[in-house]
């Protein structure tokens, strides 16, 4: 089968990673950026791809199968909508829209036209996160009770988007993927210590109809560089730590055991600690490959779009709560 013809819009910090991957596993047909210098630089590197500053010119190519959007977040909805309406499959960096209603509209357009709408939730393709999902699905942890994410560091201090939008989308996508439930409450508190109106430190709390709860600590004002997700089950507990090189996932056979008959107090059980081997496959390569599979008609294309909509809904609830709305 012929390789899908893909165009990538946005050649800033992240776009070049997408360009490299699609050049290797698809036919990179177009590169697009408003910035002429960037276009010239990438046109030199990828001479077979056509370069343009006009997104519409790329969409007008009837032989183009799919478009990848790696432009700033506020532009995602409009560009993704334009591409879907032009009949292109779309992979769009996270989040695809800033409002749930806009995301629902994108999901509807994609479904009506039988097109792929895939948000770039990179962590869902991380072999460590896939291991967490596998452990939960297999019932290894027993009933899952709570999940919390730590995404902290000192810097990079952003001045345009707050810690929830810059850092939180990653953890939120993982938590919702692992629990496969919509939160019934999602609240956030934060402070704009450095740039007025831009929260540098955000704490989020989510609760789910099943009784599970989740928490996220998001900050670029912190002494620790942490990229960690902890899942607490009734039987076992597991930690995914992306800062570790060779122990990305650690499983703790720790749990409350039973009430001591004499005192009615809980006893705890501490068994083996194990470290499963986690593949070192590049998550972005896996993500791009999945997109191409969906474009090629393999897999459930509505799932990625609906999962993305769930993330935007929760993000909207957290944002409203953070701004006191």
Q: Which residues bind ligand NAD (CB under 6 A)?
A: 9-15, 32-35, 38, 55, 70-73, 75, 79, 93-94, 120, 122
Cα–Cα distance for residue pair 93/78, rounded to 1 Å: 13
Give 43 or 213: the residue with its C-beta nearer to ligand NAD: 43
Min dist. Cβ of residue 62 to ligand NAD (A): 20
Cα–Cα distance for residue pair 210/152, rounded to 1 Å: 28
Min dist. Cβ of residue 256 to ligand NAD (A): 36
Cα–Cα distance for residue pair 107/236, rounded to 1 Å: 37
Neighbour count for residue 180 (Cβ, 10 Å) = 13
Cα–Cα distance for residue pair 177/173, rounded to 1 Å: 6
Name the pairing type of β-strands 89-93 and 117-120: parallel
Min dist. Cβ of residue 324 to ligand NAD (A): 25
Q: DSSP secondary structure string, 297-314?
A: T-S-HHHHHHHHHHHHHH
Give 233 or 308: the residue with its C-beta nearer to ligand NAD: 308
Would you give the end-to-end CA distance of the chain in angstroms?
51
Min dist. Cβ of residue 283 to ligand NAD (A): 9
Torsion of CA 41, 44, 45, 49, to 10 degrees: 110
**DSSP character for 184?**
S
Give 95 or 190: the residue with its C-beta nearer to ligand NAD: 95
Q: Which helix (H) or strand (E) holds 169?
A: helix 169-179
Give 95 or 183: the residue with its C-beta nearer to ligand NAD: 95
Min dist. Cβ of residue 91 to ligand NAD (A): 11
Min dist. Cβ of residue 204 to ligand NAD (A): 18
Cα–Cα distance for residue pair 278/287, rounded to 1 Å: 17
Give 70 or 164: the residue with its C-beta nearer to ligand NAD: 70
Give 75 or 207: the residue with its C-beta nearer to ligand NAD: 75
Min dist. Cβ of residue 260 to ligand NAD (A): 47
Give 165 or 208: the residue with its C-beta nearer to ligand NAD: 165
- Closest residue to bound ligand NAD by CB: 12
Min dist. Cβ of residue 106 to ligand NAD (A): 15
Cα–Cα distance for residue pair 122/290, rounded to 1 Å: 11
Rounded to 5, what percent of the chain is helix, strand, coil? 35, 30, 35
Give 54 or 260: the residue with its C-beta nearer to ligand NAD: 54
């Amino acid at each position: 089968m012929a390789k899908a013809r893909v165009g990538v819009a946005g050649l800033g910090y992240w776009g070049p990673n997408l360009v490299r991957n699609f050049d290797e596993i698809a036919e990179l047909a177009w590169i697009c950026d408003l910035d002429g210098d960037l276009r010239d630089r990438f046109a030199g590197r990828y001479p077979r791809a056509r370069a343009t500053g006009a997104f519409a010119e790329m969409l007008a190519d009837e032989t183009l199968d799919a478009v990848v959007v790696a432009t700033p977040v506020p532009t995602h909805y409009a560009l993704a909508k334009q591409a879907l309406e032009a009949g292109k499959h779309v992979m769009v960096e996270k989040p695809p829209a800033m409002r749930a209603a806009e995301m629902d509209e994108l999901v509807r357009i994609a479904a009506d036209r039988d097109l792929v709408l895939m948000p770039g939730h990179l962590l869902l393709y991380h072999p460590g996160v896939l291991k967490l999902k596998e452990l939960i699905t297999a019932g290894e942890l027993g009933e899952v009770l709570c999940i919390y994410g730590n995404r902290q560091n000192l810097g990079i201090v952003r001045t345009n988007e707050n810690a929830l939008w810059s850092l939180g989308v990653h953890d939120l996508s993982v938590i919702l993927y692992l629990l496969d439930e919509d939160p019934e409450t999602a609240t956030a508190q934060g402070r704009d210590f450095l740039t007025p109106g831009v929260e540098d430190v955000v704490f989020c709390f989510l609760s789910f109809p099943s009784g599970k709860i989740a928490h996220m600590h998001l900050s670029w004002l912190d002494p620790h560089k942490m990229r960690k997700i902890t899942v607490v089950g009734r039987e076992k507990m597991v930690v995914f730590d992306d800062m570790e090189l060779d122990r990305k996932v650690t499983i703790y056979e720790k749990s409350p055991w039973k009430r001591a008959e004499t005192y009615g107090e809980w006893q705890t059980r501490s068994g083996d600690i194990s470290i499963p081997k986690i593949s070192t496959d590049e998550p972005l390569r896996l993500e791009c490959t999945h997109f191409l599979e969906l474009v090629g008609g393999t897999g459930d294309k509505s799932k990625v779009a609906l999962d993305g909509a769930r993330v935007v809904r929760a993000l909207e609830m957290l944002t409203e709560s953070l701004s006191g709305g």
